[in-house]
Amino acid sequence: MPSVHVSEAIRKHGADVLLRGWVHRKRQSGGIIFLVLRDVTGLIQVAVKKDTVSLESWSAAESASIESSIEVSGTVKEDKRSPTGFELAASSFSMVGMSEPFPITEYQSTELLLDKRHLWLRSQKMTAAMKARSFVFKYAREFLDKKGFFEITPPILTRAGGETGANLFETDFFGRKAYLTESSQLYAEAMIFSLEKVYTLAPSFRAELSRTTKHLAEYWHLEPEMAYYDNKMSMSLQERLVSHIAKNLAKNNEEMLKEFGVSKDDLLKIKPPFKKLSYEEALGAINDKGFVLKWGDDFGVEHEKALTEWEEKPVFVYNWPKEIKPFYMPINPEDPRTVLCSDLQAPKGHGEIIGGSERIWKIEELRDRMQDVEKTKGIKFNMANYEWWIDLRRYGSVPHAGFGMGMERIIKWLLNLDHIRDAIPFPRMSNRLEP
Protein backbone atom coordinates (compact mmCIF):
# COMPACT_ATOMS: atom_id res chain seq x y z
CA MET A 1 0.00 0.00 0.00
CA PRO A 2 1.46 3.41 -0.92
CA SER A 3 1.71 5.79 2.05
CA VAL A 4 -0.42 8.94 2.37
CA HIS A 5 -0.05 12.05 4.47
CA VAL A 6 -2.12 12.83 7.56
CA SER A 7 -4.16 15.50 5.76
CA GLU A 8 -5.14 13.05 3.02
CA ALA A 9 -5.90 10.25 5.49
CA ILE A 10 -8.34 12.58 7.25
CA ARG A 11 -10.02 13.46 3.96
CA LYS A 12 -10.34 9.77 3.16
CA HIS A 13 -11.54 8.73 6.62
CA GLY A 14 -13.10 5.30 6.64
CA ALA A 15 -10.55 3.93 4.18
CA ASP A 16 -7.48 1.78 4.92
CA VAL A 17 -4.30 3.88 4.83
CA LEU A 18 -0.57 3.68 5.52
CA LEU A 19 1.02 6.63 7.33
CA ARG A 20 4.69 7.46 7.78
CA GLY A 21 5.80 9.94 10.40
CA TRP A 22 7.34 10.63 13.79
CA VAL A 23 6.06 10.03 17.33
CA HIS A 24 4.97 13.39 18.71
CA ARG A 25 3.36 12.16 21.97
CA LYS A 26 2.80 8.79 23.58
CA ARG A 27 0.87 7.29 26.47
CA GLN A 28 -0.16 3.78 27.40
CA SER A 29 -3.37 2.75 29.07
CA GLY A 30 -3.42 -0.99 29.78
CA GLY A 31 -3.73 -2.84 26.51
CA ILE A 32 -3.88 0.33 24.36
CA ILE A 33 -1.04 2.57 23.29
CA PHE A 34 -2.05 6.06 22.14
CA LEU A 35 0.47 7.89 19.99
CA VAL A 36 0.27 11.15 18.15
CA LEU A 37 1.90 10.80 14.74
CA ARG A 38 3.35 13.88 13.09
CA ASP A 39 4.14 14.42 9.43
CA VAL A 40 4.60 17.49 7.28
CA THR A 41 0.86 18.01 6.98
CA GLY A 42 -0.16 17.67 10.62
CA LEU A 43 -0.91 15.45 13.60
CA ILE A 44 -3.19 12.48 14.12
CA GLN A 45 -3.84 10.21 17.08
CA VAL A 46 -3.02 6.53 16.56
CA ALA A 47 -4.49 3.80 18.78
CA VAL A 48 -2.67 0.47 18.91
CA LYS A 49 -4.66 -2.26 20.67
CA LYS A 50 -2.81 -5.27 21.99
CA ASP A 51 -5.57 -7.70 21.05
CA THR A 52 -6.04 -6.48 17.45
CA VAL A 53 -2.43 -6.29 16.19
CA SER A 54 0.33 -8.88 15.80
CA LEU A 55 2.86 -9.43 18.54
CA GLU A 56 5.55 -7.74 16.40
CA SER A 57 3.35 -4.68 15.90
CA TRP A 58 2.58 -4.48 19.60
CA SER A 59 6.19 -4.69 20.71
CA ALA A 60 7.24 -2.15 18.06
CA ALA A 61 4.59 0.27 19.41
CA GLU A 62 5.68 -0.42 23.00
CA SER A 63 9.29 0.35 22.17
CA ALA A 64 8.51 3.51 20.18
CA SER A 65 9.91 6.58 21.92
CA ILE A 66 9.23 10.28 21.26
CA GLU A 67 10.60 11.25 17.81
CA SER A 68 11.02 7.64 16.63
CA SER A 69 10.12 7.37 12.96
CA ILE A 70 7.29 4.91 12.37
CA GLU A 71 4.95 3.38 9.80
CA VAL A 72 1.38 2.59 10.75
CA SER A 73 -1.53 1.25 8.76
CA GLY A 74 -5.17 1.10 9.70
CA THR A 75 -8.46 2.95 9.29
CA VAL A 76 -9.11 6.58 10.18
CA LYS A 77 -12.26 7.50 12.09
CA GLU A 78 -13.56 10.79 13.30
CA ASP A 79 -13.21 10.83 17.09
CA LYS A 80 -14.26 13.82 19.13
CA ARG A 81 -12.29 12.61 22.18
CA SER A 82 -9.01 12.48 20.29
CA PRO A 83 -6.85 15.62 20.66
CA THR A 84 -6.53 15.72 16.88
CA GLY A 85 -10.25 15.14 16.09
CA PHE A 86 -9.46 11.92 14.22
CA GLU A 87 -8.00 8.60 15.21
CA LEU A 88 -6.24 5.89 13.26
CA ALA A 89 -7.08 2.41 14.57
CA ALA A 90 -3.83 0.59 13.83
CA SER A 91 -3.85 -2.80 12.14
CA SER A 92 -0.07 -2.89 11.90
CA PHE A 93 2.79 -0.85 13.33
CA SER A 94 6.49 -0.84 12.51
CA MET A 95 9.55 1.05 13.58
CA VAL A 96 11.72 2.76 10.96
CA GLY A 97 14.31 4.52 13.13
CA MET A 98 14.28 4.35 16.92
CA SER A 99 14.90 7.66 18.72
CA GLU A 100 17.23 8.00 21.68
CA PRO A 101 15.66 10.02 24.54
CA PHE A 102 14.86 13.34 22.85
CA PRO A 103 16.90 16.15 24.45
CA ILE A 104 14.10 18.71 24.10
CA THR A 105 11.28 18.39 26.60
CA GLU A 106 8.51 20.80 27.48
CA TYR A 107 10.06 23.81 29.24
CA GLN A 108 13.50 24.55 27.83
CA SER A 109 15.67 27.62 27.85
CA THR A 110 16.03 29.65 24.67
CA GLU A 111 19.75 28.87 24.69
CA LEU A 112 19.17 25.11 24.75
CA LEU A 113 16.66 25.40 21.92
CA LEU A 114 19.29 27.29 19.90
CA ASP A 115 22.00 24.73 20.73
CA LYS A 116 19.63 21.98 19.61
CA ARG A 117 18.31 23.99 16.68
CA HIS A 118 18.70 21.02 14.31
CA LEU A 119 16.16 19.16 16.47
CA TRP A 120 14.01 22.13 17.55
CA LEU A 121 13.20 22.69 13.86
CA ARG A 122 10.74 19.77 14.28
CA SER A 123 8.58 21.72 16.74
CA GLN A 124 5.13 22.85 15.65
CA LYS A 125 6.15 26.50 15.87
CA MET A 126 9.35 26.16 13.84
CA THR A 127 7.65 23.90 11.31
CA ALA A 128 5.01 26.58 10.72
CA ALA A 129 7.66 29.32 10.55
CA MET A 130 9.73 27.40 8.01
CA LYS A 131 6.68 26.72 5.86
CA ALA A 132 5.77 30.41 6.00
CA ARG A 133 9.35 31.32 5.05
CA SER A 134 9.18 29.08 2.00
CA PHE A 135 5.87 30.65 0.95
CA VAL A 136 7.14 34.21 1.45
CA PHE A 137 10.11 33.41 -0.84
CA LYS A 138 7.75 31.86 -3.37
CA TYR A 139 5.26 34.76 -3.38
CA ALA A 140 8.05 37.32 -3.71
CA ARG A 141 9.55 35.53 -6.70
CA GLU A 142 6.11 34.94 -8.21
CA PHE A 143 5.27 38.67 -8.05
CA LEU A 144 8.51 39.81 -9.66
CA ASP A 145 8.50 37.06 -12.29
CA LYS A 146 5.01 38.14 -13.36
CA LYS A 147 6.23 41.73 -13.66
CA GLY A 148 8.87 40.67 -16.19
CA PHE A 149 11.91 40.56 -13.88
CA PHE A 150 14.82 38.18 -14.40
CA GLU A 151 16.27 36.46 -11.34
CA ILE A 152 20.04 36.79 -11.45
CA THR A 153 22.71 35.33 -9.17
CA PRO A 154 25.39 37.61 -7.70
CA PRO A 155 28.84 36.69 -6.40
CA ILE A 156 29.08 36.34 -2.62
CA LEU A 157 32.84 36.95 -2.44
CA THR A 158 33.62 40.54 -3.36
CA ARG A 159 36.33 43.20 -3.27
CA ALA A 160 34.09 46.20 -2.60
CA GLY A 161 31.51 46.97 0.06
CA GLY A 162 28.14 48.07 -1.22
CA GLU A 163 26.77 49.91 1.80
CA THR A 164 28.69 51.55 4.62
CA GLY A 165 31.61 49.16 4.25
CA ALA A 166 31.92 49.28 8.03
CA ASN A 167 30.37 45.90 8.72
CA LEU A 168 32.21 43.68 6.26
CA PHE A 169 33.33 40.14 7.05
CA GLU A 170 36.85 39.79 5.75
CA THR A 171 38.21 36.57 4.35
CA ASP A 172 41.34 35.33 2.63
CA PHE A 173 40.97 34.71 -1.09
CA PHE A 174 44.16 32.92 -2.22
CA GLY A 175 46.28 35.49 -0.41
CA ARG A 176 44.14 38.49 -1.31
CA LYS A 177 41.67 40.25 0.94
CA ALA A 178 38.06 39.53 0.05
CA TYR A 179 34.75 40.26 1.73
CA LEU A 180 31.43 38.50 2.10
CA THR A 181 28.96 40.67 0.23
CA GLU A 182 26.82 43.07 2.27
CA SER A 183 24.51 43.77 -0.68
CA SER A 184 24.23 42.49 -4.24
CA GLN A 185 23.08 45.87 -5.51
CA LEU A 186 26.22 46.84 -7.41
CA TYR A 187 26.11 43.57 -9.38
CA ALA A 188 22.37 43.87 -10.00
CA GLU A 189 23.06 47.33 -11.43
CA ALA A 190 25.49 45.83 -13.94
CA MET A 191 22.79 43.52 -15.26
CA ILE A 192 20.04 46.08 -15.94
CA PHE A 193 21.96 47.15 -19.06
CA SER A 194 20.97 43.88 -20.70
CA LEU A 195 17.99 42.58 -18.71
CA GLU A 196 16.44 45.94 -17.62
CA LYS A 197 14.53 44.55 -14.62
CA VAL A 198 16.38 42.07 -12.43
CA TYR A 199 16.44 40.79 -8.87
CA THR A 200 18.77 38.83 -6.66
CA LEU A 201 17.58 36.68 -3.77
CA ALA A 202 20.78 35.84 -2.00
CA PRO A 203 22.51 36.03 1.38
CA SER A 204 23.98 39.33 2.58
CA PHE A 205 26.44 39.49 5.45
CA ARG A 206 26.75 42.17 8.12
CA ALA A 207 29.39 41.95 10.81
CA GLU A 208 27.16 43.73 13.30
CA LEU A 209 28.08 43.15 16.91
CA SER A 210 24.89 44.71 18.20
CA ARG A 211 22.58 42.04 19.53
CA THR A 212 19.06 43.10 18.73
CA THR A 213 15.90 41.21 17.86
CA LYS A 214 16.20 42.47 14.26
CA HIS A 215 19.80 41.85 13.25
CA LEU A 216 21.36 38.75 11.77
CA ALA A 217 24.97 38.46 10.64
CA GLU A 218 23.79 36.47 7.62
CA TYR A 219 20.39 37.26 6.13
CA TRP A 220 18.55 36.68 2.88
CA HIS A 221 18.22 39.78 0.81
CA LEU A 222 15.83 40.37 -2.07
CA GLU A 223 17.28 43.12 -4.29
CA PRO A 224 15.33 44.24 -7.35
CA GLU A 225 16.97 46.76 -9.67
CA MET A 226 15.06 48.52 -12.44
CA ALA A 227 16.20 50.54 -15.47
CA TYR A 228 14.30 53.80 -16.09
CA TYR A 229 12.65 53.76 -12.63
CA ASP A 230 12.68 56.68 -10.24
CA ASN A 231 12.15 56.20 -6.52
CA LYS A 232 8.42 56.99 -6.72
CA MET A 233 7.94 54.12 -9.18
CA SER A 234 10.10 51.95 -6.94
CA MET A 235 7.97 52.72 -3.86
CA SER A 236 4.85 51.81 -5.81
CA LEU A 237 6.44 48.48 -6.78
CA GLN A 238 7.47 47.87 -3.15
CA GLU A 239 3.98 48.37 -1.76
CA ARG A 240 2.51 46.03 -4.36
CA LEU A 241 5.17 43.41 -3.64
CA VAL A 242 4.59 43.53 0.13
CA SER A 243 0.84 43.43 -0.34
CA HIS A 244 1.09 40.45 -2.73
CA ILE A 245 3.04 38.48 -0.12
CA ALA A 246 0.63 39.39 2.72
CA LYS A 247 -2.47 38.68 0.64
CA ASN A 248 -1.26 35.26 -0.50
CA LEU A 249 -0.26 34.20 3.01
CA ALA A 250 -3.74 35.19 4.17
CA LYS A 251 -5.50 33.40 1.33
CA ASN A 252 -3.45 30.20 1.14
CA ASN A 253 -1.82 29.70 4.52
CA GLU A 254 -4.42 30.50 7.17
CA GLU A 255 -3.76 27.31 9.13
CA MET A 256 -0.07 28.22 9.49
CA LEU A 257 -0.89 31.75 10.61
CA LYS A 258 -2.95 30.38 13.50
CA GLU A 259 0.24 28.99 15.05
CA PHE A 260 1.35 32.63 15.48
CA GLY A 261 -2.02 34.11 16.37
CA VAL A 262 -1.94 36.20 13.18
CA SER A 263 -5.33 37.07 11.72
CA LYS A 264 -6.06 36.67 8.06
CA ASP A 265 -8.10 39.88 8.06
CA ASP A 266 -5.18 41.92 9.36
CA LEU A 267 -3.01 40.64 6.51
CA LEU A 268 -5.68 41.40 3.94
CA LYS A 269 -5.66 45.04 5.09
CA ILE A 270 -2.08 45.45 3.86
CA LYS A 271 -3.06 47.00 0.54
CA PRO A 272 -1.53 49.90 -1.42
CA PRO A 273 -1.21 52.81 -1.04
CA PHE A 274 0.99 52.89 2.07
CA LYS A 275 1.51 56.11 4.01
CA LYS A 276 4.45 58.13 2.63
CA LEU A 277 6.19 60.64 4.90
CA SER A 278 9.20 62.75 4.03
CA TYR A 279 12.08 62.44 6.50
CA GLU A 280 11.07 65.83 7.88
CA GLU A 281 7.43 64.82 8.37
CA ALA A 282 8.50 61.57 10.06
CA LEU A 283 10.85 63.52 12.34
CA GLY A 284 7.94 65.75 13.32
CA ALA A 285 5.66 62.78 13.98
CA ILE A 286 8.29 61.17 16.20
CA ASN A 287 8.98 64.38 18.12
CA ASP A 288 5.22 64.79 18.64
CA LYS A 289 5.46 61.58 20.70
CA GLY A 290 7.87 63.29 23.07
CA PHE A 291 11.27 62.71 21.47
CA VAL A 292 13.77 65.48 20.68
CA LEU A 293 15.38 64.37 17.41
CA LYS A 294 17.24 67.06 15.46
CA TRP A 295 17.22 67.40 11.68
CA GLY A 296 19.96 65.06 10.44
CA ASP A 297 19.58 62.42 13.18
CA ASP A 298 19.06 58.81 12.22
CA PHE A 299 16.14 56.96 13.81
CA GLY A 300 16.75 54.41 16.55
CA VAL A 301 14.64 51.45 17.58
CA GLU A 302 12.44 53.51 19.94
CA HIS A 303 11.84 56.20 17.29
CA GLU A 304 10.83 53.60 14.70
CA LYS A 305 8.45 52.18 17.27
CA ALA A 306 6.95 55.59 18.04
CA LEU A 307 6.39 56.14 14.32
CA THR A 308 4.74 52.80 13.53
CA GLU A 309 3.25 51.53 16.79
CA TRP A 310 -0.37 52.15 15.81
CA GLU A 311 -0.05 51.51 12.08
CA GLU A 312 -1.73 48.58 10.32
CA LYS A 313 0.31 49.00 7.16
CA PRO A 314 3.99 49.76 6.62
CA VAL A 315 5.06 53.41 6.32
CA PHE A 316 7.53 54.88 3.85
CA VAL A 317 9.99 57.52 5.02
CA TYR A 318 11.54 59.17 1.97
CA ASN A 319 14.35 61.58 1.12
CA TRP A 320 16.72 61.28 4.06
CA PRO A 321 19.65 63.59 4.93
CA LYS A 322 22.59 62.72 2.68
CA GLU A 323 25.01 62.34 5.59
CA ILE A 324 23.26 59.22 6.88
CA LYS A 325 22.79 57.48 3.51
CA PRO A 326 25.25 55.70 1.17
CA PHE A 327 27.37 57.17 -1.62
CA TYR A 328 25.32 55.89 -4.57
CA MET A 329 22.15 57.88 -3.76
CA PRO A 330 21.58 61.05 -5.85
CA ILE A 331 21.11 64.49 -4.29
CA ASN A 332 17.50 65.64 -4.27
CA PRO A 333 17.38 68.68 -6.63
CA GLU A 334 14.51 70.16 -4.59
CA ASP A 335 16.40 69.99 -1.29
CA PRO A 336 20.14 69.36 -1.71
CA ARG A 337 20.48 68.46 1.97
CA THR A 338 18.68 65.19 1.14
CA VAL A 339 19.00 62.20 -1.22
CA LEU A 340 16.34 60.45 -3.34
CA CYS A 341 15.62 57.35 -1.31
CA SER A 342 13.14 55.67 1.01
CA ASP A 343 12.95 53.19 3.85
CA LEU A 344 9.87 51.12 4.48
CA GLN A 345 9.05 50.75 8.18
CA ALA A 346 6.92 47.79 9.28
CA PRO A 347 4.03 48.43 11.70
CA LYS A 348 4.29 48.00 15.47
CA GLY A 349 8.00 48.67 15.70
CA HIS A 350 9.07 45.61 13.69
CA GLY A 351 11.61 47.90 12.02
CA GLU A 352 12.89 48.65 8.54
CA ILE A 353 11.90 45.97 6.05
CA ILE A 354 13.08 47.71 2.87
CA GLY A 355 15.73 50.26 1.99
CA GLY A 356 15.87 51.66 -1.54
CA SER A 357 16.84 54.61 -3.71
CA GLU A 358 17.53 56.05 -7.10
CA ARG A 359 21.14 55.51 -8.16
CA ILE A 360 23.51 58.18 -9.42
CA TRP A 361 23.81 57.36 -13.09
CA LYS A 362 26.01 60.20 -14.34
CA ILE A 363 29.73 59.75 -13.87
CA GLU A 364 30.64 63.31 -12.82
CA GLU A 365 27.85 63.41 -10.28
CA LEU A 366 29.01 60.07 -8.86
CA ARG A 367 32.63 61.25 -8.49
CA ASP A 368 31.45 64.44 -6.75
CA ARG A 369 29.24 62.52 -4.35
CA MET A 370 31.92 59.95 -3.52
CA GLN A 371 34.41 62.74 -2.82
CA ASP A 372 31.84 64.51 -0.66
CA VAL A 373 31.20 61.30 1.31
CA GLU A 374 34.95 60.82 1.80
CA LYS A 375 35.24 64.37 3.16
CA THR A 376 32.22 64.36 5.43
CA LYS A 377 32.65 60.82 6.74
CA GLY A 378 36.45 60.85 6.86
CA ILE A 379 36.68 57.60 4.88
CA LYS A 380 38.68 56.68 1.77
CA PHE A 381 37.11 54.58 -0.99
CA ASN A 382 39.49 52.15 -2.63
CA MET A 383 38.54 53.40 -6.08
CA ALA A 384 40.21 50.50 -7.87
CA ASN A 385 37.57 48.19 -6.39
CA TYR A 386 34.73 50.37 -7.66
CA GLU A 387 36.17 51.07 -11.13
CA TRP A 388 34.08 48.36 -12.84
CA TRP A 389 30.91 49.73 -11.26
CA ILE A 390 31.78 53.33 -12.20
CA ASP A 391 32.43 52.00 -15.70
CA LEU A 392 28.70 51.23 -15.98
CA ARG A 393 28.21 55.01 -16.10
CA ARG A 394 30.48 55.27 -19.15
CA TYR A 395 28.67 53.09 -21.67
CA GLY A 396 25.10 54.13 -22.29
CA SER A 397 24.07 54.84 -18.72
CA VAL A 398 20.38 55.19 -17.85
CA PRO A 399 18.44 56.41 -14.80
CA HIS A 400 17.66 53.51 -12.49
CA ALA A 401 16.48 52.63 -9.01
CA GLY A 402 16.22 49.62 -6.78
CA PHE A 403 15.70 48.37 -3.28
CA GLY A 404 16.64 45.68 -0.79
CA MET A 405 14.15 43.78 1.32
CA GLY A 406 15.30 41.76 4.32
CA MET A 407 13.44 38.45 3.97
CA GLU A 408 13.71 37.60 7.67
CA ARG A 409 12.56 41.12 8.58
CA ILE A 410 9.36 40.80 6.56
CA ILE A 411 8.74 37.28 7.92
CA LYS A 412 9.29 38.51 11.49
CA TRP A 413 6.71 41.24 10.96
CA LEU A 414 4.11 39.17 9.07
CA LEU A 415 4.24 36.35 11.64
CA ASN A 416 4.61 38.81 14.52
CA LEU A 417 7.71 36.96 15.82
CA ASP A 418 9.51 38.25 18.92
CA HIS A 419 12.93 37.61 17.40
CA ILE A 420 14.30 37.54 13.86
CA ARG A 421 16.20 34.30 14.56
CA ASP A 422 12.95 32.31 14.25
CA ALA A 423 12.52 33.50 10.66
CA ILE A 424 15.61 31.53 9.51
CA PRO A 425 16.44 27.86 10.18
CA PHE A 426 20.06 28.26 11.27
CA PRO A 427 20.55 31.82 12.54
CA ARG A 428 23.97 33.46 12.46
CA MET A 429 24.39 36.14 15.11
CA SER A 430 27.46 37.59 16.80
CA ASN A 431 27.19 34.94 19.53
CA ARG A 432 25.96 32.06 17.39
CA LEU A 433 27.71 30.10 14.65
CA GLU A 434 26.51 26.58 15.58
CA PRO A 435 24.80 24.38 14.62
Quote the least distance from Cβ 223 to ligand 4AD, whole Å: 4
SS3 265: helix
Paired residues of 55 in beta bridges: none
Instruction: Indicate the residue among 185 and 308 with the shorter CB distance to ligand 4AD.
Output: 185
**Total binding residues toward Mg ion, as defined by CB under 5 A:** 1
Q: Does 404 bind Mg ion (CB under 5 A)?
A: no
Quote the least distance from Cβ 219 to ligand 4AD, whole Å: 4
Quote the least distance from Cβ 196 to Mg ion, whole Å: 25
Q: Are 187 and 207 in contact (CB under 8 A)?
A: no
Task: Find which of ligand 4AD, Mg ion, none residue 223 binds, CB within 5 to 8 Å per kind.
Answer: ligand 4AD
Q: How far is the C-alpha of 432 from the C-alpha of 218, rounded, in Å?
A: 11
Instruction: Indicate the residue among 21 and 154 with the shorter CB distance to ligand 4AD.
Output: 154
Which residues would be at the binding site for ligand 4AD (CB under 6 A)? 162-163, 183, 185, 206, 208, 215-216, 219, 221, 223, 352-356, 402-406, 408-409
Q: How far is the C-alpha of 396 from the C-alpha of 10, rounded, in Å?
A: 61
Which ranges in 147-209 belong to alpha helices (H)?
185-195
The residue nearest Mg ion at its CB is 355
Instruction: Indicate the residue among 219 and 361 with the shorter CB distance to ligand 4AD.
Output: 219
DSSP one-letter code for 382:
-
Instruction: Indicate the residue among 314 and 355 with the shorter CB distance to Mg ion.
Output: 355
**Angle CA 106–108–111, to nearest 5:** 155
Instruction: Indicate the residue among 282 and 354 with the shorter CB distance to ligand 4AD.
Output: 354
Q: Are 423 and 417 in contact (CB under 8 A)?
A: yes
Query: Which residues, in sequence order, are CB contacts of 256 under 8 Å at separation 6+?
Result: 128, 131, 132, 135, 249
Instruction: Indicate the residue among 86 and 229 with the shorter CB distance to ligand 4AD.
Output: 229
Q: How far is the C-alpha of 167 from the C-alpha of 181, rounded, in Å?
A: 10
Instruction: Indicate the residue among 21 and 355 with the shorter CB distance to Mg ion.
Output: 355
Q: How far is the C-alpha of 71 from the C-alpha of 313, rounded, in Å?
A: 46
Instruction: Indicate the residue among 9 and 282 with the shorter CB distance to Mg ion.
Output: 282
Q: Are 247 and 270 in contact (CB under 8 A)?
A: yes
Task: Find which of ligand 4AD, Mg ion, none residue 219 binds, CB within 5 to 8 Å per kind.
Answer: ligand 4AD
Quote the least distance from Cβ 352 to Mg ion, whole Å: 5
Beta-strand relationship, 275-278 and 315-318:
parallel
The dihedral over CA atoms of 296, 302, 305, 306, expressed in degrees to the nearest 10, equals: -70
Task: Find which of Mg ion, ligand 4AD, none residue 67 binds, CB within 5 to 8 Å per kind.
Answer: none
Task: Find which of ligand 4AD, Mg ion, none residue 402 binds, CB within 5 to 8 Å per kind.
Answer: ligand 4AD
Quote the least distance from Cβ 272 to Mg ion, whole Å: 21
For 147-271, strand residue ranges (E) read: 150-151, 157-158, 169-173, 176-180, 197-205, 218-227
Instruction: Indicate the residue among 221 and 244 with the shorter CB distance to ligand 4AD.
Output: 221
Quote the least distance from Cβ 412 to ligand 4AD, whole Å: 9
Quote the least distance from Cβ 350 to ligand 4AD, whole Å: 10
Ramachandran sector of residue 139 (left: φ over 0; alpha: ψ -120 to 50; beta: rest):
alpha
Which of 32, 115, 337, 346 has its CA nearest to residue 213?
346
Q: Which of 355, 356, 406, 427 binds Mg ion (CB under 5 A)?
A: 355
Task: Find which of Mg ion, ligand 4AD, none residue 330 binds, CB within 5 to 8 Å per kind.
Answer: none
Quote the least distance from Cβ 221 to Mg ion, whole Å: 11
Quote the least distance from Cβ 408 to ligand 4AD, whole Å: 5
Binding site for Mg ion (CB under 5 A): 355
